[in-house]
Structure 1
Amino acid sequence: MPPDDLRPNAPPSGAQRREEYVYVDVEGRPVLRVVRLSGGGSKRFWQEHYENGNWETGAVPEDERPLYHLPEVLAQVRDGGTVYVVEGEKDVHTLQAMGVVATTNSGGAGRWLPHHTRSLAGADVVVIADKDEAGLSHALKVARELREAGANVEVFEARIGNDVSDHVGAGLGLGDLVLVPAGIQDDFTRYIEFLDGLDPTLPTEIKFQMARVLLDEAEGDQVPWTSEGPARRGDDDQLFEALRAWRREQASTQGVPAFIVFYDRTLWDLVDRRPSNHQQLLGVWGIGPVKLERHGDALLALLWHDD
C-alpha cells in the first residue's frame, strides 16, 4: 500500500489548505501539485496531478515526478552554478529568497529517483540535510548517487534547528551551515548505532553531537573533514591559507559564501596535487570545465607564484 501522502484519496473534510507547491516539467508545464494542509492541530501533505487542464487528486507515476523548479535547476547546471538540494518545498523557498537556486523531490525523505540524479549529473551541488535520522540518511543517499553521476557534492546541515528554514529563521546565513563530517558520510550505519544507543530522552541536538564524538573516538579521532577543514598539515598551511584568502576575496566580490567558490576539500587537493596546467587542474576534486575557465589561471598563479 502506498504511503498516506501518495494515496489517491479525497482530502480529509474540514482541512484547510495552507500551501500549494507546483512541480513543472522541463518546458514549464504543470505536472503535479503538493498540497500542505493543516487542521485539528496537525498537518498533512498530499499530491495532485494535472490532467486535461484540471488538478485531480492522486500522484503521478514515479518516472514522471520532476525535481521542484526543474527549469531553473537545469539552467543553473548549464551555467556551471551551484544547486542546493533540500528536503521539502518550504526549504526551497527559504533558499530562493536568499538568491540561490534550490530544489527538492516530492514526497519527502526516501523518494529521490534516478532521473533526479540525471538532472544534476556533473553539477556542483550542496545537499542540506534535515537533522534527524531519516533526513540525514536521505541526504547522504542523494549525495552518494550524485557523486556516482559525476557531481561535486558536499553535505551540510543547519547550525541551529532541524532544517535550513530554522537556520535562516535564527538569523544565520549560508556561510554558517555546518559541514557533515566525512566520518559520518563514510560510516553512517555505525553512526546510527551510536545514536540509537543514547538516552532517548536527550534533546536531538545533544544526541547528534554525542554520537559524533563517539564515532570520532572509535576512528581514533581521525575525522578528515569538518566545518573548519582537515587537521593542519605543517608546511602546507601557508599555501592553504593563501588559497583561502583568495577564496574570501572571490566570495566577497561575487556576494556568495566562500564554499560556493570552492570547498575546503578542493583547496587541500590543490595543495596536495599542486597542478601545473589546466589539464591537471581538471583532476582536482571539485574543479570542472566551468570553474576551470573561471578560476584556472588565478589558481595556477597562486600555486606557483614563488617558483
Structure 2
Amino acid sequence: MSLGGLETRQMGPDESRAPGRSGFPGAAAPSLMEGPSSPEEILRGLDPEQLEAARSVRGPVCILAGAGTGKTRAITHRIAYAVASGVVPEQQILAVTFTTRAAGEMRGRLRALGAPRVQARTFHAAALRQLSYFWPQAVGGPKPTLLDSKIGLVADAGRSCGLQLDRPGLRDLASEIEWSKVTQIRPADYEAAVVKAGRTPPMLARDVARAYDAYEELRRERNLLDFESMLELTAAVITDSPSIAEQVRKQYRYFVVDEFQDVNPLQKLLLDAWLGDRDDICVVGDPNQTIYSFAGATPGYLTGFSVAYPHATFVRLVRDYRSTPQVVRVANTALQAAGAAAGVAREHRLELVAQRPDGPDPVYAEYDDEPAEATAVARRIAALVESGTPAREVAVLFRTNSQSAAYEQALADAGVSYTLRGATQFFDRPEIKKALHTLRGASQGEDDAPLVATVRHILQQPQIGLTETAPEGRQARERWESLAALAQLSEDVAAERSGATMADFVAELEARAATEHAPGLEGVTLASLHAAKGLEWDAVFLVGLTEGMLPIIYAEEPEQVEEERRLFYVGVTRAREHLGMSWALARSPGGRKTRKPSRFLDGLRPASPSLAAQRGERRKQAKTIQCRVCAATLIEAAERKLGRCADCPSDYDEALLERLRDWRRETATEQKVPAYVVFTDATLQAIAEREPSGVTQLAGISGVGAVKLERYGQAVLALCAGQPAPVSGEQGDTE
C-alpha cells in the first residue's frame, strides 16, 4: 500500500508460520530430510578447534573465528549436536545472523544435519514475527504499517523543517537518523552525541536534530514503524510484560548469534530482552572484520564478552580453508601493521594458518591512470576466463560504487560478462516472482514435456521477457541476467536428475526461495568492499588502492583509518587463489600523477624499482586520446571510445549503424552471450562514424582489441564496405 507517496506494507500475521504447541511463532514444519544417525556422526570431519566449539554445548560460549575458518560449519554442527544429544529441543533454539542469505544458508545446513525446526533468522525477521504475534495483547488497536524505506517520510520531515534536500541528501539524512536510532540517541541529544562520537553529520547538526524530531513525530502520527522502532518496541514489549517475557523465554532457551562484532546497541537491547537472566548463549565473530562502525556496529560486545561472562568458554578458529598460503600471508601482514588505534581488535587478532596448497603469488600493479588500470584488470580477467576460471568465480572489489563504471566498460570491451552486486535479493525481484508464479501454474499440467525447453518457452513469453540476447542498459541487463540464471538452473536440474519434471523444478525453486539460495548469475562480480563481506571467489582484484580512496579521504581519526584497514583485510580474504591489487597515479590520461599507493600496501608490495620498470613499460604503451573534432583530451571512457567529445558534432551513416546492430544481435544469439560482449553501443557508433576500410583503421578504434579483431574484424569491415557479413565459420584471418 502507499501512504503519502511512501511505499509501505501492512504489518500482519505471518502466513508462513507453522505454530508449535503453544501457538508461538517460530516452530517450523518438520522436514522429510534425514540427518546423521547419531550425535557422534555429526562431529565427524571437524578439525580440533571446530570440534571443541561443537562440543561446548552449554553457554556462555564465545567463538573467535577468522576469515575462511569454517565458523558456519562449527556453529551449525554445535547446534545439531546439542539437539541430537538431548541438550535442548530444536524448536527452542534461536540462531540470529545479519543477512537473509546467511540465515538461509544456516537453515539449509541444519536441515541436512537433522535439525530442521531450528529457527535461524535475522534480528529484524525474528522481531517482526514476535511483535506481530504479541501485538493484540501487548498493544492492541490497528497494527502499524512497516516502512520499507525511510526516504519518503524523511522528505516530509525535512520539508516541515524548511530543508530542501535532493535525493543524495535525503539518503544521507535517513542514514543519520538510522545511526541515531540504533545507537539509542534521541533527537534532543543528537548534537552532543555527534561531537562525542567524532562524527561529521551530513548537514548542520541542529538541522539533523530538528529533522529527526519531525520524522519521529510524523511516524507516530501516521502509525508507522521503521525497522529500528520495530526492534525497540519488541524489546519493550518483552521487558514491560512479565507474561510475554515468560512466553518468549519459554519458547527460546538456546541462543546463537553470528557476526557478533556487527551487533549495535539496539540489537543488543533486544538480545538482552530475549535472554533475561540466562546465559545459554553462543556468540561468533571476528573483531578484525568490524567494518560497519559508521552504521552503529561495535565490536565491544564481542571483545568484552569475558567481562560480561567471566565463566565463558572461548574457542579460537584459525585454520583457513579458503585461501592459499600466499593470500593468507597478505591478510596476516596487513593486520600486523595495525596501529595503536586498533585497540582491542588488535589484541584479539587471529593469526590465520593456511590449510590449502601453495598458489600463485599476489600481483601488485601500478598504472598511470584509471582507464589504464581498468583495461589491464579486464584483460587479466579475460585471460583467467579463457584459461578455465568461471567468470562467476572472479570479482572486482572497490571502495565506492562510483568506481564500478570504468570496470563495466573495460569488461564489456574485453568481451567479459559481469554482474553488479547490491541489487534486490534474487527471489524478491519482480521478474523472478512473476516467473515463479507462471512456472508454478505450468507445473500443474502435463509433465512429459522436456524440462529445459518448457522452462525457456515460459520465460520467453512477453509478460516475463527473457530474450535470446541481453538488452542494453544496466537495469534491463540485470533483469535479463536474473531470468537467464533461472533458465540455466533448469539445465542444471535436468542434468543432475534424469527425467526431472516441471514439478521437480518448481519444488527446487521454492526450496531455494525458502533458504534464500539464489542460482548463481554468470559473470564477473563487481561489488564494493562492504557488499563483498561474507562472500568468496577464486580470483579477486582489489582496485583503486590509493590514499584518499582506501583509506577513504574522510577517514581522519586513527580509529577510522583502522576500520579502513579492516575493510582492506576483508577484501583480501575474499580470494581463494588469485589476488590482484592495483592502483592508478592519476584519474585520467594525461593527468598529473600525484596519487600515492595506499598505506595498507606498505610491507606488502614489491620495492619501487620493479614497479617503476612496469610503469615505464606501460607509459610506452599508453596513449592520450584527443577529440578528433576539437582536439580536447578525452577522459570519460565512452568519449575515448567514440574518439570525440560527447557534445561535439559528428556525422555517421545511420543505415550502417543499423546493419552493425543487426549483425551484433545475430552474433550474440549464436554465441549465447550478451550483446555488449560482442561490441558495446559506443564501439558500434564509433565504427559507424569512422567507417574503417582496413584492419589498421579498425584496430585504431577503442574497444576493438586483438581478440575482437580476430573474431569479428572481417565481418565488420564487410559491413562497412556495404557487403554482407560472412556467415559463421567463414571468417578467416583479418590480415
TM-score of the two chains, using structure 1 as the length reference: 0.41
More strand by share: 1
- Structure having greater relative contact order (Cα 8 Å, sep ≥ 6): 2
Highest CA radius of gyration, 1 or 2? Answer: 2
More helix as a share of residues: 2
